[in-house]
Amino acid sequence: MPKYLLIYRDSTESQQSQPSPEEMQGFLKMWDGWFKQFEGKIVDMGDGLLPTGRVLQPGGVVADGPYVEAKEMIGGFSVVAANSYEEAVEIAKLCPIAIIGGAIEIREFAGYV
């Protein structure tokens, strides 16, 4: 079955606000419900990503990243198994990130490995 990478994009506005403890508990419950709803389809729940990182450039040069001028930062990811892009999109539509108004990029794995 094909696998798809769900890439969670944070807008610069959403990075400014921190959820309250109550909001965070509600969000975690949404994640748990999504996982249970698509058990067997979610291959890897993934994780959130810190806003810091490094960029390895050609020639071995390492720079601080991600670049500040980026309009959207990658905030996290998950991996799902689906029969088609359409099914992967339906799974993504019910992801908590989509429910709270975040953008999700959906990319199919090439299957080389």
Q: Would you state the pLDDT for residue 66?
A: 66
What predicted TM-score, i.e. pTM, was given to this entire model? 0.82
For a pLDDT cut of 90, what percent of the chain falls above it? 57
For every residue of the chain, DSSP letters joined together read --EEEEEEEEETTTTT----HHHHHHHHHHHHHHHHHTTTTEEEEEEE--S-EEEEPGGG-EEEES-TT-SEEEEEEEEEE-SSHHHHHHHHHTSHHHHTT-EEEEEE-----
- Asked if pLDDT for residue 15 goes beyond 60, the answer is no
At 72, the pLDDT band (50, 70, 90 cuts) reads low
The confidence score (pLDDT) of residue 69 equals 54
Answer whether CATH 3.30.70.1060 is correct for domain 3-108: yes
What per-residue confidence (pLDDT) applies to 107? 96
Is 90 exceeded by the pLDDT of residue 7? yes
